[in-house]
């Protein structure tokens, strides 16, 4: 196949060969043609999910050649690739023509398994496209260094939006219409760091058939997991205690809170994977199984956060308690192992003030007899 190229054409061999993602990044449908690069193959970067183009004698990497790009489109591509340390370099294609491609400039990534576009589209495509919308909304507004600091929260918020589309709770009692009955009249995001704040003007259908025009502020958090570790043989639970700034800001005389293990779901994670990871990070526990407890919005009037709650089955001897948390996140966590009856006493006395822990406790109370019967020999 003979393709006439120019030195300023760009060739892509990774995630941006996904047509939907490429359109989001370019802001337009691409003028793209199939192309190949001899003696190269696309691998997964070690420990990552994104691809890496590497020399591989006798192989041939299949990609896309982008032609007739505007200066703004090249700048948009640069903006999207720069946070990962990728820059444009010149390359000779199979037919001897020259073009440019994005490649890491300091070899910071190791070689993983061969990368598959189809597998990536199935597992990571949706969350990557969602994140790309937010990333490209920042094009021309913030510098690359600031964008790099925002990538984690951006991907976590993207994962939450994907989860919201995929979750399908039953609709039996509710009579309200779908989200298609809501019109976004105006939307502004005046604040975005670990959390974000959206100012919304919405028009939605009323139950009486009319419409409402409302102005609302939404605190945009991410999806999170909550895990209450439980040992059904010993009938004990593991709680954690840590400082929380929100009770402090309210004026609480004791802003150290009793909680279950909890943490955000990162981009590309399932709730189950996040639950196991958080248990390990906060307490060093290995959970043998997860029992679904409840999934819910803790404060849907103003907060987008959605919680996936589990009972985490674990072996909890007395020495399972200790200190934990990630230094990188300034976590200072004390864990304790107590009888389930002691937890219920703390609930009754009001010492447990944490909503997710309360819900997990009540769900464990519901499931406790079955879990103990399954775990204890007759």
| Active-site amino acid positions | 329
Q: 323, 239 in Cβ contact below 8 A? A: no
Rounded to whole angstroms, how far apart are CA atoms 62 and 56? 13
Query: With DSSP H G I counted as helix, E B as strand and the rest as coil, what are the percentages for the chain, rounded to 5?
Result: 35, 35, 30
Distance CA 177, CA 131 (A): 27
Rg of the chain, C-alpha, whole Å: 25
CB 127 within 8 A of CB 162: yes
Locate 144 and state its tokens.
């690359």
Handedness of CA 210, 214, 216, 218 (dihedral sign): positive
First to last CA, the chain: 72
Q: How far is CA 52 from CA 75, 113, 309, 333, in A?
A: 21, 10, 36, 38
Instruction: Find, among 354, 268, 262, 351, the residue nearest to 309 by Cα.
Output: 262
Q: Tokens in use for 98?
A: 């020259």
Other beta carbons within 10 angstroms of residue 285's beta carbon come to 22
> Which residue(s) pair with 257 in the sheet?
242
Best CA proximity match to 359, nearest among 339, 343, 335: 343
Q: Which residues of 203-233 are buried (b: 16+ CB within 10 A; e: fewer)?
A: eebeeeeeeeeeeeebebbbbbbbbbbbbbe
**φ, ψ dihedrals at 363, nearest 5°:** -70, -40
Count of Cβ atoms closer than 10 Å to residue 193 Cβ: 10
Rounded-to-integer distance, Cα 326 and Cα 319, Å: 20
268, 291, 280, 295: which is closest to 371 by C-alpha?
291
Give dist(CA 304, CA 189) in Å, integer.
Answer: 14
């Amino acid at each position: 196949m003979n393709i006439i190229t120019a030195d300023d054409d760009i060739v892509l061999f990774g995630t941006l060969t996904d047509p939907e993602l490429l359109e989001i990044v370019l802001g337009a449908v691409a003028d793209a043609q199939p192309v190949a690069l001899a003696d190269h193959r696309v691998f997964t970067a070690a420990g990552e999910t994104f691809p890496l183009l590497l020399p591989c004698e006798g192989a041939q990497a299949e990609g896309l050649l982008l032609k007739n790009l505007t200066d703004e489109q090249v700048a948009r591509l640069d903006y999207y690739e720069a946070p990962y340390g990728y820059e444009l370099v010149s390359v000779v294609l199979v037919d001897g023509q020259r073009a440019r491609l994005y490649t890491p400039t300091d070899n910071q990534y190791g070689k993983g398994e061969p990368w598959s576009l189809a597998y990536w589209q199935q597992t990571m495509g949706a969350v990557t496209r969602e994140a790309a919308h937010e990333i490209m909304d920042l094009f021309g507004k913030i510098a690359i260094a600031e964008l790099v600091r925002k990538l984690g929260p951006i991907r976590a918020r993207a994962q939450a939006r994907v989860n919201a589309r995929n979750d399908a709770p039953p609709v039996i009692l509710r009579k309200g219409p779908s989200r298609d009955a809501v019109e976004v009249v105006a939307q502004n995001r005046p604040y975005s760091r670990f959390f974000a704040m959206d100012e919304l003007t919405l028009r939605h259908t009323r139950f009486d058939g009319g419409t409402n025009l409302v102005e609302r502020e939404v605190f945009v958090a991410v999806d999170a997991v909550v895990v209450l570790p439980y040992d059904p043989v010993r009938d004990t639970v593991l709680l954690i205690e840590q400082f929380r700034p929100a009770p402090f800001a309210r004026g609480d005389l004791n802003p150290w809170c009793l909680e279950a293990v909890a943490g955000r779901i990162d981009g590309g994670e399932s709730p189950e994977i996040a639950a196991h990871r958080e248990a390990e990070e906060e307490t060093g526990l290995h959970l043998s199984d997860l029992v679904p407890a409840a999934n819910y919005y803790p404060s849907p009037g103003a907060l987008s956060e959605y919680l996936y709650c589990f009972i985490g089955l674990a072996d909890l001897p007395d020495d399972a308690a200790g200190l934990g948390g990630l230094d990188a996140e300034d976590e200072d966590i004390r864990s304790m192992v107590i009888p389930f009856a002691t937890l219920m006493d703390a609930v009754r006395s009001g010492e447990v003030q944490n909503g997710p822990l309360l819900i997990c406790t009540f769900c464990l109370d519901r499931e406790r007899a079955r879990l103990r019967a399954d775990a204890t020999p007759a």
